[in-house]
Amino acid sequence: MNLLIALLLAASLPLAAARWLRVAQREHYLPGAVCGFARRWWTVDSRNIALLGLGVVGLVGSLWEPWAAVVPIEVAAVGPFGLSMRGSTSPLAWTRRLRTLAGVYTALSALLVAVGALAGFAAAAMGATALAAPVVVDLALALTRPLEKRAAGRFVDRARSSLDRVSPTRVAITGSFGKTTVKGYLRHLVSGSRSVVASPASFNNTGGLSRTVNEHLTPDTEVFIAEMGAYGPGEIRDLCSWVRPDVAVLCHIGPVHLERFGTLEATVRAKAEIFETAGTAVLNVDDPLIDPLAGELADRGLTVVTCSGGGRGATTADVIVTTVASGPGAESGAGPVRPGSRSRCLVTVRGETFESSLPDDTHSDNAALAVGAAVALGVEPSTAAGRLPGLRGAPHRREFSVSPTGVTVIDDTFNSNPAGAAAAVAALASVPARRRVVATPGMVELGDRQRTENIEFGRLAATTADTVIIIGRTNRAALLEGSRSGTAEVVVVANRGEAVQWARNNLEAGDAVLYENDLPDHFP
């Protein structure tokens, strides 16, 4: 009997492992992430809850009847329902790191079965090993993490040597959101007078930044701009230990990744690690969580450049960028969005004011941060102000286009924070349209604020749009609850592909659709 169960386990375990190994890969190989997703998937609906319950009953029964171990083994092979082994939006890629992880996972699984057999519970051990695949993957992640960090060290050492050899002025940018946009703005403002290399897309971790340096830094590079992301304390400190920024920028603090940081105060502390090696700090003092850092950093001897988009910090900021009302609905920092159009703005740098213009989809506080950092790098304020009309937003962040059928499409799929989501809905509202649609899976990783933030977003979408398309199951209940406060028609679909197909089938020339955030298919 045990031999037959072992053969069944050998056939079924790769199916279970593939699902959770893909989750590990998509979640940047963070220990603990796989178990978190296992909780999401097994509890997302009654089918998966019932399936997991069946597996647990079989596992308990196998303590007395070995054949009952077949049940948890089969449950692990087929479930949870909806989580693909291969994936479509985020397919499994058998990289060297994933192969190593799979090997350690296999060894750990064999060890668990062997220990169970020695204790006289071979069948139960096999059932438990199958059902506990997410736990075993997370254990394998924890065991391999030091080895992977050591393996990545040679790329970091090479990048450190390149930076020391070329010796560009180094800029680091972080924040809960806005960092990719500010990075792009700063690159544009500086590139008119100096040679610039910036980390592409969202290459903001050790692997991405070392790769950027090793592949793109050239002997004539004068400025290197590094976007820095973090899932927890210490990560930005590790990046700064070898990037060693001269100028550090802190954009915005919000509940993005709050379930990893715990509190907004912890988020501020983790992000503020970016100033530990810098000589100049550029701060968004419109953000009440960032504003207090100005005095603290000045006391530590840093040169502090305070920036404002016309908000709460405008009265004392060193750099202020404000749009000038020029029509109905236009106001500082948030005029009506007209694709390709610009609004007049005023740029004030330490009391000297310049007139310029900004693309209508530009947040003035992000523009102010870019100007502040550019001035810190030695760009003349008048030069920085003169280049503002050429700013371009980051891809997939309030990106406008018109489909072949004449439908205005706002692609905000790379945005996942409440402030950005609200701004995207405001952009949709400002577009002249016969019918407006919001398609969204909601926002994730907001900790204990996730439900309330998605309820509020559902309310906002349903009171602005004519139709709200709710994608997936992760935030479905919260979005449905919020949407009841509005008058919009609500459509529920399983994935973004179905949402796009709905739009193609139902929207016509003169209509507009906002795709707000996008979750890869390892989310329910």
Domain coordinates in residue numbering, the chain: 2-147, 167-390, 399-516
Contact 394, 181 (CB under 8 A): yes
Give the strand pairing for 280-284 and 196-198: unpaired
Nearest to 163 by CA among 229, 236, 216, 201: 216
The C-alpha angle 376, 269, 162, rounded to 5 degrees, equals: 50
Between the alpha carbon of residue 488 and those of residues 176, 228, 322, 431, 438, the distances in Å are 31, 39, 34, 17, 10
User: How many Cβ atoms from other residues are within 10 Å of residue 391's Cβ?
Assistant: 20
CATH superfamily of 167-390: Mur-like, catalytic domain (3.40.1190.10)
Write phi, then psi, for 411 (nearest 5 degrees): -95, 105
User: How many Cβ atoms from other residues are within 10 Å of residue 86's Cβ?
Assistant: 11
308-319 burial code (b ≥16 CB/10 A, e <16): bbbbebbeebbb
| pLDDT of res. 201 | 79
Residue corresponding to tokens 């592409």: 200
pTM > 0.75 = yes
Nearest to 185 by CA among 365, 53, 346, 322: 365
| pLDDT of res. 76 | 94
| pLDDT of res. 338 | 55
482-510 burial code (b ≥16 CB/10 A, e <16): bbeebebebbebebbebbbebbeeebeee
Residue-wise pLDDT tens digits, 41-81: 999 999 999 999 999 999 999 999 988 989 999 999 999 99
Between the alpha carbon of residue 308 and those of residues 189, 290, 305, 320, 349, the distances in Å are 17, 12, 10, 5, 11
Average pLDDT value for the chain? 91
If you average pLDDT over residues 218-235, what whole number do you get? 92
Burial class (CB in 10 A: 0-12, 13-18, 19+), 227: buried
| pLDDT of res. 255 | 85
CA distance 373 to 113: 57
CATH superfamily of 399-516: Mur ligase, C-terminal domain (3.90.190.20)
User: How many Cβ atoms from other residues are within 10 Å of residue 432's Cβ?
Assistant: 9
User: How many Cβ atoms from other residues are within 10 Å of residue 121's Cβ?
Assistant: 17
If you average pLDDT over residues 286-298, what whole number do you get? 96
Q: What percent of the chain has pLDDT over 90?
A: 77
Helix (H) or strand (E) holding 478: helix 476-483
CA distance 359 to 382: 18
CA distance 301 to 262: 30
| pLDDT of res. 213 | 96
Between the alpha carbon of residue 494 and those of residues 81, 180, 441, 491, 515, the distances in Å are 13, 29, 10, 10, 15
Range scoring the smallest mean pLDDT among 102-111, 168-177, 194-203, 304-313: 194-203
Helices (H) and strands (E) counted in the chain, each on its own, are 19, 15
User: How many Cβ atoms from other residues are within 10 Å of residue 191's Cβ?
Assistant: 15
| pLDDT of res. 489 | 97
Sheet bearing 319-323, strands edge to edge: 196-198, 223-227, 169-174, 247-250, 280-284, 303-308, 319-323, 342-349, 352-359
- Which pLDDT band holds residue 333 (cuts at 50, 70, 90)? very low
Radius of gyration of the chain from Cα atoms?
26
Range scoring the smallest mean pLDDT among 19-28, 415-424, 469-478: 415-424
Name every residue whose Cβ is closer than 8 Å to that of residue 456 and which is 6 or more positions away in sequence. Answer: 418, 482
Tokens of 360: 């209508």
Question: Residue 329 pLDDT more than 50?
Answer: no
| pLDDT of res. 337 | 53
| pLDDT of res. 450 | 93
Give the CB-side neighbour count of residue 501, counting CA atoms within 13 A.
8
Contact 13, 130 (CB under 8 A): yes
| pLDDT of res. 328 | 40
Question: Residue 92 pLDDT more than 80?
Answer: yes
User: How many Cβ atoms from other residues are within 10 Å of residue 30's Cβ?
Assistant: 16
| pLDDT of res. 334 | 43
Question: Residue 374 pLDDT more than 90?
Answer: yes
| pLDDT of res. 326 | 53
| pLDDT of res. 11 | 82
Question: Residue 492 pLDDT more than 70?
Answer: yes
Residue-wise pLDDT tens digits, 256-272: 776 777 788 999 999 99
| pLDDT of res. 335 | 45
Tokens of 392: 């371009």
Contact 509, 405 (CB under 8 A): yes
Residue corresponding to tokens 């004539």: 220
Give the strand pairing for 489-493 and 512-516: unpaired
